[in-house]
Amino acid sequence: MADPVARGAMFFAIASDETKMRRDAAKKFPTDFWSQDDDFHQSELKRAKSVAAEHGVRLGDALSAVDEGSRLNGHVLPLLGALDVRTFDREAVERVVEDLDRKISLDEEDDEEHLSWNTASNVWVLLSKMCKEMSNAKRKDLRVREDNPAALVRPPERGEKKAKQYLYPSEFRRLVECKEIDAAYRALYAFAVYTYARSNEIAALTWEDIDLEHWTIHITKSIDRATHKAKPTKTGITRRIPIELALRPLLAMLHSAHEKAKGKKSAPVVWMPDHEDRAILLREHLETAEVKRSELLTSNAHRHRLTFHDLRATGITWAAVRGDNPMQIKQRAGHKGFATTEVYIREAENLRQGFGEPFPPLPSELRVSSSVSAFRHRVPHGAAKFAWYGVEQRGIELYRATNANRAMSLLFSSKCSTFLSSPDFHFVHVSRRGSPSGNPGSGRSWHVPRADRWR
């Protein structure tokens, strides 16, 4: 991790180019604000890579410096920036906390100043650490005062921690048995639940990590979302986990197909869509499979709708309901502390009656068909309910169009590179560069209900 001076230098090096990046993006896409935003973030990432190389640090450190600088500029410096760093007092820090509490209390829908309590907490962690460094920095030249002005200040208010989501075994069976969903996705969902590994750990798994002789999986790394390179697991813990009995036939079939294709040992075990698409696709697939429990599909003040990460929560909850040894659950899940595991165990204590059979057998047709498609890079056209599933998902972000006329006008412009249709939906893909592109992942996509076409 870079020291505070280096982090500040990296932030200013990247932030100083932001105005130009925004201006260039506006020139490229004068009327398309989504594409402007896309282009800006691509330019910012490219600049961050360059700055990270100049300072000899990881890309993640440079991106973290950008986040920290943005939090300071947006929420701290407007109140403390004009004060002398050597003399501002506890009362000044408390004014920042009061302002954070004010922003938390604002209406989420109607006020642009609104902050989630989690974001406010991140701002506070940064500010309190900064104040501590003023008196106790490892580098002596950064110590500018004797006291820590934030030492006795209470942090911002914390909101309600929203409930975790999970699938019941009956809902999971409907999902993996639904033949209208491509088998590649169903195999992925089964693998995610039955191993309860983190999504980026699954993305990093290769056949070298799978021991079919002893039926174990060795989880040693994950994929960094920013760099797409391997890195240590979230907690730094490597672990071997036993392969569930119900998952073994599927893994054996996938491995057999992999061997017949003469694939490399370093090939991924299962195919995965991009991180941004996983939750969207999972919820669409649940609806396709007639799993319509409202709390899985909609969020409110007390709970989040289901995300791909909740497949991990599903597997851990199932293990607790089944009565697995709590310490074994902790080790297999890769939890650093038992308190995290205990949350699932307490939930399971209230669920056993009528919950269903955890880790049920997988459908036999999934074991056969997924061996064909589970490690493809492109899902076969027409394999799923809606035609847009046939487009390669890598890099695509789906947006429900708020203005269908805009989507239709793009369809007839030179920017449109893909147009697919089904009885219920249109799918429009617009290339990033404003001309037809062979790679659907290079631009924006709209999933437009047919009924909205002429609205």
Q: Tell me, what amino acid is at 40?
A: F
Q: For residue 18, what pLDDT is reported?
A: 84
Other CB atoms within a 10 A radius of the CB of residue 143 amount to 13
CA distance 174 to 368: 18
* Listed residue (178, 222, 225, 226) closest to 384, CA to CA: 178
Coil vs helix vs strand at 317: helix
Q: For residue 406, what pLDDT is reported?
A: 39
Q: For residue 264, what pLDDT is reported?
A: 63
pLDDT in tens, the chain (455 residues): 567 778 888 888 888 888 888 899 888 888 777 677 778 878 888 888 888 888 888 887 888 888 888 888 889 989 988 888 889 999 999 999 999 998 888 765 555 677 888 888 989 998 999 899 898 888 888 888 999 999 999 999 886 666 778 999 999 999 999 999 988 899 999 999 999 999 999 999 999 999 999 999 999 999 987 777 888 988 888 999 999 999 999 999 989 888 887 666 678 898 888 887 888 899 999 999 999 998 898 877 677 889 999 999 999 999 999 999 999 999 999 988 888 898 888 888 888 778 999 999 999 877 544 443 333 333 333 333 333 333 333 223 333 333 333 343 333 333 333 344 333 444 444 433 332 223 333 344 444 333 333 22
Taking phi over 0 as left and psi of -120 to 50 as alpha, with beta for the rest, 228 belongs to left
Helices (H), 106-211: 117-136, 169-177, 183-195, 199-204
Q: For residue 455, what pLDDT is reported?
A: 27
Tell me the two tokens of residue 369.
């068909």
Q: For residue 293, what pLDDT is reported?
A: 92
Q: Tell me, what amino acid is at 374?
A: A
Q: For residue 140, what pLDDT is reported?
A: 87
DSSP letter for each residue of 226-273: TT--EE--TTS--EEEEPPGGGHHHHHHHHHHHHHTT--TTSBSS---
Show me where the domains of the chain are located.
Answer: 4-142, 169-373, 393-452
* Chosen CATH of 169-373 out of 3.90.850.10, 1.10.3720.10, 1.10.443.10, 1.10.490.10: 1.10.443.10
CA distance 159 to 303: 12
User: Residue 421's beta-bridge partner residues?
Assistant: 426
Q: For residue 213, what pLDDT is reported?
A: 93
CA distance 346 to 157: 26
424 burial level (CB within 10 Å; 0-12, 13-18, 19+) = exposed
